[in-house]
Amino acid sequence: MEKISMNDNIQMVPMQEQHIPALAQLERICFSQPWSENSLRSELHNKLAVFCVAEQNGQVLGYAGMQCVMGECYINNIAVFPQFRGMGIGTQLVQTLIEQAIQRNGIFISLEVRVSNQQAISIYRKLGFCEVGCRKNFYAAPVEDGLIMTKELKTQ
């Protein structure tokens, strides 16, 4: 894969069937407990799910997904291929989910992140997420706490 700059034609598009193999590969690269192709594919038909893909000329750069239920939106996945990190793609993906949560009348959007993932935590803070709790031993391989971060979208 070639290195690209953010000035290039990067688009945020809804996840589709043709993205699934690349996203499953990305999951295996990024996570100790990756989602399978079947798990990703099942989200294509889930009316509560919002999954978007960052792509350039059909090449998958990264993706993010969330579930929205009765105004509560939970980010499940955010991943960017290593060679495309540090270019703002993760930030764009999260911003896209925030916009989608607002369109779905979301009251808040929440996520868990490994306490050691300071780069991601910094991005979430920059986007207005606040630390609201900690899930002890939430992650496996390695075992690590999960920091709960939430962004209020509107007051009730």
Q: Which residues are marked as active site?
A: 112, 124
Alpha helices in the chain (DSSP H): 20-30, 37-43, 89-103, 118-126
CA dihedral (58, 78, 49, 104) positive or negative? negative
Identity of residue 139 = Y
Cβ atoms of 41 and 20 within 8 Å: the answer is yes
Cβ atoms of 51 and 3 within 8 Å: the answer is no
Phi-psi label, residue 44: left if phi above 0, alpha if psi -120 to 50, beta otherwise: alpha
Angle 39-110-140 (CA atoms, 0-180°, nearest 5)? 55
